Amino acid sequence: MHKQVPKVPIHNIKTKEIHSLGFNVIDLKGSGGSEYDSSVPHRHNFYELLFFVNGYGKHEIDFTVFPLENNAVHFVSPGQIHKLTAKPKTKGFVLCFTEDFILSDGKENFNQKFPFYDEGFANPIMKLNHSLSSEIYHLAKSIYYEFKLNPDFSSDVLRSYLNIILVKLRQSFFNQQNTVKHIGSDKKEKMLLFKKLINTFYLQHKPVSFYSDKISVSPNHLNALCKKHEGKTAIHLIQERSLLEAKRLLHATEMSVKEISFHLNFEDVSYFNRFFKKLQHLTPIQYREGIAKNR
């Protein structure tokens, strides 16, 4: 009998704390995030923006470990699994918000407006220059005090402050992207678009030719771009996205391997098992048992 695997908790915004605003702010206070529940891997049904003025420690996002650095922002989207291990000198804020809170009119596409939250397009880490970091710090500090002093009446103020932060980060994001474009012409842009398309269509198991048609290159050209920029073939990058989702589900749910296989649109569970073992060098059950052993 297999050991029962602890379910990775999904942290919901606590409406009793924020009066159904769909918003929260946490001051890390330089104490290693004592107010921030990060002791075990978890996921959210809301967005997080973790801003580090001083960063010491590490942050694991979807099984990739990133060092905490000064003047940096980490983006975490709903459904991603993450764990923050911050050391005592860490200083900054965590902003938590729902899509409905920031897009109050409901007419805009969140990922298009703030592409650094698009998992298929962006790195989850953004380094800030000293000037922008100082701006974000003062805005986050204003949010913190506004939220603590006037939570019943400050939704418009909080939304405005948060929107300024996100727009400032968007400007920096596009400036950095433009620099990348100048360095690598349109080749890097095609790679970013390819990753974005993978994130949209991976459940449909489309062939490489489907993606190459979408970005107006031949399959061989796309493969060459992938090898040059990622050191992997196009099909390997597509498969890695399915593997990531499988690992998330093995971590975060009590779904059986058969149910996960069905959810990911594999033909049958034996094929899913072979696919997973080929990429992860473990069967899905062995991977899940390893999670339980390390908890």
CATH of the domain at 37: 2.60.120.280
Average pLDDT, the chain: 85
Is residue 3 assigned to a domain?
no
Is residue 156 assigned to a domain?
yes
pTM, to two decimals: 0.78
Residues 258, 179 share a domain = no
206, amino acid identity: K
pLDDT bucket at 97, cuts 50 / 70 / 90: very high
CATH of the domain at 213: 1.10.10.60
pLDDT bucket at 39, cuts 50 / 70 / 90: low
Is residue 99 assigned to a domain?
yes
Is residue 2 assigned to a domain?
no
Q: Which residues of 243-281 are buried (b: 16+ CB within 10 A; e: fewer)?
A: bbbbbbbbbbeeeebeebbeebebeebeebbebbeeeee
Residues 156, 27 share a domain = yes
Range of the domain at 14: 10-183
58-76 per-position pLDDT tens digit: 999 998 999 999 999 999 9
Chain CA centroid to CA 287, Å: 22
pLDDT at residue 225 in the model:
92
Pick from 176, 97, 92: nearest CA to 136: 92
Least confident of 15-19, 87-91, 266-270: 15-19
pLDDT at residue 5 in the model:
46
CA distance 82 to 57: 14
Q: Percent of the chain at pLDDT above 70?
A: 83
Query: What does the pLDDT average to over 257-283?
Result: 95
Residues 80, 57 share a domain = yes
95, amino acid identity: L
Is residue 132 assigned to a domain?
yes
CA distance 171 to 169: 5
Residues 287, 206 share a domain = yes
State which of 160, 183, 206 marks the end of a domain. Answer: 183
pLDDT at residue 108 in the model:
74
pLDDT at 122 over 70: no
State which of 133, 158, 183 marks the end of a domain. Answer: 183
Strand (E) positions, 139-259? none
Least confident of 138-142, 174-178, 290-294: 290-294
Residues 139, 209 share a domain = no
Residues 92, 64 share a domain = yes
Is residue 5 assigned to a domain?
no
State which of 127, 154, 183 marks the end of a domain. Answer: 183
Pick from 195, 282, 187: nearest CA to 240: 195
Least confident of 17-21, 89-93, 241-245, 246-250: 17-21
Pick from 56, 72, 182: nearest CA to 116: 72
